[in-house]
Amino acid sequence: MRKFLTLIIFFNLLIVNISFAKEIEYLLFKSSNYEKPKNFDAFVWHEGKKLKIIKGRDIDNPKDKIIVIYNHGGWGWNKGWGPGWDLYLAKLMAPQLSGKKINGKEIVLWMNGSLIDKKNDPYKGKEIGYACGWKLKGAWHREWHECVLNDFPTYLREKRTIEIINYFADKGTPRDQIFLSGHSCGGWNALRLEGKYPDAFNAAISYMPNCWDRRPNGLVRKTLIDEMKTFKKLDAIIYSSPVDGGEDWKASYQDLKWIGDIPGAKMIKLPGHNAKDGKEISVNGKLCENLPRMHGGWEEVWPEGKKKLRSAKKFIAVDKKEKKAMMKKAKGHNMLYRECFDSYYPQILDFIASKVK
């Protein structure tokens, strides 16, 4: 009997060890478009075909490092997404940034896994639009916008990101060697923090920045835009698509190019639908493969007589033929997640080099 129990314990330990080994292999080697996001902090490098991950916030020789913080987007998490950063994106970005040297200092990409707290955040960190919609039995009306702004994840992430920047600085990385980057809401937040706390870190690197909903002239967009217009300086490089295609109302390059007029800001216009019958996007001849289709970008109006809506499908397209055509075209908002974006990293490295003494 004792031998039998010993064998059972040994077998269970073996399963645990095998599972642990698989987890390490998964973190280092496996990558696809469909990985679950990671909700832990990590420095990432690319070594051959391996993605090297060091969990946490501590790194050797911090004074000789240029830390590029990456903040993911979103209004929170839901069953289909989040919380956390994308392993596939880390695999794309790491070889372009981590390990590069500028003035004898090494760039390291740090993926922020601390933006959402499923235990302590309002609504347990769930997507705030859905949470407020369930609470109010409808969405996109004034009360819903106020609910979203009252517990806006962007404001929570502001506090957490500044705490992280201060942590890196306290550990020995000079503030002028810390850069804040992000995509979508993460990109907008990078710009906000650069405008609000210009001495906290060096500069922002913003990819497809926007962080509002699809209602025309909605309160969330107005609040964020009005704040951005108060900034007197914005040390940032900003990549924006003329065919963003997200649900955010007026979030493409042509709607946001005024940000480039703020002193210090450099606005980069990405290509539009320039390939395959005008439905796909390519960069310097390289196709951005398998981009999702556009979810927005056409003009919509609020249905007359409605106080609130329970579905985005209830918005009325001004031109139904235009909407139908655009829904078949590539969504520029996701270009960062494709290899076609690689040709912009030398420009990003030049931007970092121009800022680091």
Is residue 11 in some structural domain?
no
Is residue 143 in some structural domain?
yes
Is residue 215 in some structural domain?
yes
Is residue 277 in some structural domain?
yes
The CB density around residue 198, as the number of other CB atoms within 10 Å, is 16
Give the count of domains, the chain.
1
Domain that holds residue 273: 31-355
Is residue 21 in some structural domain?
no
- What are the tens digits of pLDDT across the range 138-184? 999 999 999 999 999 999 999 999 999 999 999 999 999 999 999 99
What residues contact 18, with CB distance under 8 A and at least 6 apart?
none
DSSP characters over 48-101: TTEEEEEESS--SSGGGEEEEEEE--SSSBBTTB-SSB-HHHHHHHHHHHTT-E
- What are the tens digits of pLDDT across the range 235-287? 999 999 999 999 999 999 999 999 999 999 999 999 999 999 999 999 999 99
- CA-based nearest residue to 76, from 185, 195, 163, 174: 185
Is residue 209 in some structural domain?
yes
Distance (Å, rounded) from C-alpha 100 to C-alpha 351?
Answer: 13
Is residue 190 in some structural domain?
yes
Q: What is the pTM of this model?
A: 0.90
Is residue 9 in some structural domain?
no
Q: CATH number of the domain at 312, please.
A: 3.40.50.1820
Could you tell me where the beta strands, DSSP code E, fall in the chain? 42-47, 50-55, 65-71, 101-102, 105-111, 178-183, 203-207, 236-240, 265-269, 282-283, 286-287, 300-301, 316-317
- What was the pLDDT predicted at 13? 36
Least confident window among 30-39, 151-160, 286-295: 30-39
**Residue 14 CA to its chain's centroid (Å):** 38
